[in-house]
């Protein structure tokens, strides 16, 4: 396209100003249309373009000033404080619980039990302390990096990005302090846990916005599917509880029939509270990835996380002596045939969407 | 290059007023709007044409304008039109503008307690 230097200069300045890529794309599209109209209706030189359309820095400054003026967080400082100042603790703690859950699951699969021999107990104790500290460090760092990227993406003042690391830093120190006993270990880990988020903040402030947000993408496609699945399972559980109040399960006199009925009930629970939520959440995240052009690997990551969660959860039902009463048990475990089926479904959905994405790309190339 | 005086302080809000009033007459795309501003103000007011788009985007974010990509004269363009909220805002701003202009003119011509205007 003619006069590409003017357009390229504007685009470069907009990217330097950390405007969201979607907005830059829209703005450049309209400027291209405008430039084409200008060229068609005027016998213009390149100098005419600069004088009529404006200097690239002037256009970029106008775009940045206008964008920041209507940014939600710039218009509502209280909302900005609540979001960037207080809420980072939520993903920090949530990620901690999710990490511990997956570690427990892993130990269950590997059959790791509590170590009781005197010879390796000190080593195991030190390893556990190191592991806990590492979990706290990673959860805090990822939570802070997420909020830094959100601040950069929404193009708000840098002070909000700075504020988002203080609360998690304090939480990390409290978390570390509550878990460990040894004063010597604490004297090293407590300062590290406090200073790490602040160091990330300093590094992030100096970094130029490259228009890519890998940590935010990780949170969206690796962590939030787990949270979405847990929420959906909780809602299903509540709805089933309401149904059970209205329609109490009848108990049969025949022991065989009762056993069969309880087994069927457990399978129904698995279907309603694990399989259906995992299918829904898998499809949601696959469609999200396809809509925003996110790479296929993130589809697989989301579906793998959901597969592990779905495959590890199971229900069983036991009856009691009281007629018409039973207990529902749920827990983590692995590799029963039903759980294997639950594990494979999200993976199958993810692979199907990836294949569809690849077919669509080939169609576009062919066109 | 001639140095033009740009954006005097008393013209804050004027670009938005002009854009809303012109788009209230008929929907237009960006280039057409810039030409309409030049013509309707007899060349007195001009935009760095690239700078009209941030104003349009901000007015759209405030729900005073809506946009849609349409085919105009055989080409695809983003066309802007005023919303109900924008029409209301326009009426209010025009009323305020007229009062201010009347008051300033009255002061410049010499008000009740003011000095007579300079010859």
- Per residue in B24-68, pLDDT tens? 999 999 999 999 998 888 877 766 788 899 999 989 988 999 999
Q: Model ipTM?
A: 0.81
CB A160 within 8 A of CB A86: no
Cross-chain residue pair B50–A59, CB shorter than 8 Å: yes
Q: Please report residues of B whose CB lies closer than 8 A to that of A53.
A: 48-50
Residues of B with CB under 8 A from a CB of A: 1, 29-31, 34, 47-51, 53-55, 57-58, 61-62, 75-78
Cross-chain residue pair B49–A53, CB shorter than 8 Å: yes
Determine how β-strand A326-332 pairs with β-strand A313-319. Answer: antiparallel
In angstroms, rounded to a whole number, what is the distance separating the alpha carbons of residues A56 and B52?
13
Q: Please report residues of B whose CB lies closer than 8 A to that of A72.
A: none
The DSSP output letter for B3 is -
B88 has a pLDDT exceeding 90: yes
Please tell me which of the candidates A36, A37, A54 has its beta carbon nearest to residue B51. Answer: A54
Q: Which residue of A has its CA nearest to B63?
A: A70
Query: Which of B15, B54, B56 is the best residue to mutate to test the A interface, defined by the most A CB atoms within 10 Å of its own CB?
Result: B54
- 3-state secondary structure at position A20: coil
Would you state the pLDDT for residue A212?
A: 66
Please tell me which of the candidates B29, B49, B58 has its beta carbon nearest to residue A54. Answer: B49
The DSSP output letter for A55 is -
Q: Please report residues of A whose CB lies closer than 8 A to that of B34.
A: 34
Query: Which of A29, A33, A73, A74 is the best residue to mutate to test the B interface, defined by the most B CB atoms within 10 Å of its own CB?
Result: A33
Question: In this structure, how many other beta carbons lie within 10 angstroms of the beta carbon of residue A12?
Answer: 12
Cross-chain residue pair B30–A30, CB shorter than 8 Å: yes
Q: Please report residues of A whose CB lies closer than 8 A to that of B30.
A: 30, 33-34
Q: Which residue of B has its CA nearest to A30?
A: B78
Contacts across the A-B interface (CB distance below 8 Å)? 67
In angstroms, rounded to a whole number, what is the distance separating the alpha carbons of residues B43 and B38?
5
Would you state the pLDDT for residue A210?
A: 58
Q: Which residues, including other chains, have CB under 8 Å from residue A103's CB and lie 6 or more apart?
A: A131
B2 has a pLDDT exceeding 50: no
The residues facing A73 across adjacent strands are none
Q: Please report residues of A whose CB lies closer than 8 A to that of B53.
A: 27, 30-31, 34, 63
Tokens of A209: 């916005």
In angstroms, rounded to a whole number, what is the distance separating the alpha carbons of residues A264 and A192?
52
The one-digit pLDDT tens for each residue of chain A (367 residues) are: 455 888 888 988 888 776 777 788 889 999 999 988 888 887 666 677 788 888 888 898 888 888 877 777 777 778 888 888 888 888 888 888 888 888 877 777 776 655 555 555 666 677 777 888 888 888 888 888 888 888 777 777 777 778 888 888 888 888 888 876 566 667 777 888 888 888 888 887 777 655 567 787 888 888 888 888 888 888 887 877 777 777 665 555 566 666 777 777 777 777 778 888 889 999 998 888 877 667 788 888 889 888 888 887 776 666 665 555 666 666 666 667 777 888 888 889 988 888 887 776 665 544 4
Q: How confident is the model at residue B23 (pLDDT cuts 50, 70, 90)?
A: very high
Please tell me which of the candidates A31, A58, A70 has its beta carbon nearest to residue B62. Answer: A70
In angstroms, rounded to a whole number, what is the distance separating the alpha carbons of residues A352 and A299?
10
pTM of structure: 0.62
Q: Where are the beta strands (DSSP E) in B53-117?
A: 65-72, 75-82
Give percent above pLDDT 70 in chain B. 82
Would you state the pLDDT for residue A1?
A: 44
Cross-chain residue pair A59–B51, CB shorter than 8 Å: yes
Q: Which residue of A has its CA nearest to B75?
A: A33
Please tell me which of the candidates A53, A59, A66 has its beta carbon nearest to residue B58. Answer: A66
Measure Cα distances from A204 to A124, A166, A201, A210 in Å. Answer: 36, 14, 5, 12
Q: Is A113 exposed, middle or buried (0-12, 13-18, 19+ CB in 10 A)?
A: exposed
CB A296 within 8 A of CB A350: no
Q: Which residues, including other chains, have CB under 8 Å from residue A215's CB and lie 6 or more apart?
A: A142, A145, A146, A148, A149
**Virtual torsion, Cα A145, A148, A149, A155, nearest 10 deg:** 180
In angstroms, rounded to a whole number, what is the distance separating the alpha carbons of residues A326 and A58?
72
The DSSP output letter for A318 is E
Would you state the pLDDT for residue A125?
A: 72
Q: What are phi and psi of A32, to 5 degrees?
A: -60, -45
B3 has a pLDDT exceeding 50: no
């Amino acid at each position: 396209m003619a006069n590409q230097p003017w357009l390229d200069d504007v685009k470069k300045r907009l990217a330097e100003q950390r405007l969201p890529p979607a907005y830059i794309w829209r703005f450049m599209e309209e400027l291209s249309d405008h430039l084409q109209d200008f060229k068609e209706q005027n016998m213009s030189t390149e100098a005419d373009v600069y004088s009529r359309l404006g200097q690239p820095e002037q256009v970029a400054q106008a775009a940045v000033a206008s964008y920041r003026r209507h940014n939600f967080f710039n218009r509502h400082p209280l909302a900005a404080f609540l979001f960037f100042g207080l809420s980072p603790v939520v993903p920090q703690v949530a990620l901690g619980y999710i990490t511990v859950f997956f570690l427990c699951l892993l130990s269950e699969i590997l059959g790791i039990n509590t170590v009781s021999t005197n010879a390796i107990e000190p080593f195991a104790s030190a390893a556990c302390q190191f592991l806990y500290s590492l979990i706290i460090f990673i959860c805090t760092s990822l939570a802070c990096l997420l909020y830094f990227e959100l601040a950069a993406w929404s193009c708000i003042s840098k002070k909000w990005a700075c504020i988002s690391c203080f609360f998690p830093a304090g939480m990390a120190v409290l978390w570390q302090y509550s878990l460990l006993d040894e004063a010597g270990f604490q004297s090293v880990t407590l300062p590290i846990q406090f200073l790490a988020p602040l160091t990330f903040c300093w590094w992030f402030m100096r970094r130029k916005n490259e228009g890519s947000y890998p940590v935010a993408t990780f949170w969206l496609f690796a962590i939030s599917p787990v949270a979405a699945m847990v929420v959906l399972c909780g809602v299903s559980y509540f709805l089933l509880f309401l149904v059970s109040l209205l329609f109490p399960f009848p108990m049969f006199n025949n022991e065989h029939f009762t056993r069969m009925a309880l087994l069927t009930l457990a399978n129904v629970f698995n279907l309603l509270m694990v399989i259906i939520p995992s299918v829904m959440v898998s499809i949601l995240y696959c469609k999200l990835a396809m809509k925003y052009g996110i790479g296929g690997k993130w589809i697989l990551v989301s579906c793998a996380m959901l597969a592990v969660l779905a495959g590890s959860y199971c229900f069983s039902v036991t009856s009691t002596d009281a007629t018409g009463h039973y207990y529902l048990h749920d827990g983590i475990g692995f590799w029963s045939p039903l759980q294997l089926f639950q594990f494979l479904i999200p993976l199958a959905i993810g692979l199907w969407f990836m294949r569809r994405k690849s077919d669509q790309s080939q169609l576009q190339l062919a066109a | 290059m001639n140095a033009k005086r740009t954006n005097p302080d008393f013209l804050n809000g004027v670009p938005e007023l002009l854009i809303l009033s012109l788009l209230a007459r008929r929907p237009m795309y960006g280039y057409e709007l810039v030409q309409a501003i030049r013509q309707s103000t007899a060349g007195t007011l001009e935009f760095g044409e690239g700078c009209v788009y941030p104003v349009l985007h901000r007015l759209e974010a405030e729900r005073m304008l809506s946009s849609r990509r349409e085919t105009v004269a055989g080409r695809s363009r983003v066309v802007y039109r005023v919303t109900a909220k924008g029409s209301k805002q326009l009426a209010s701003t025009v009323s305020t503008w007229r009062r201010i202009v009347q008051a300033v003119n009255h002061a410049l011509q010499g008000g009740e307690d003011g000095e007579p205007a300079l010859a």
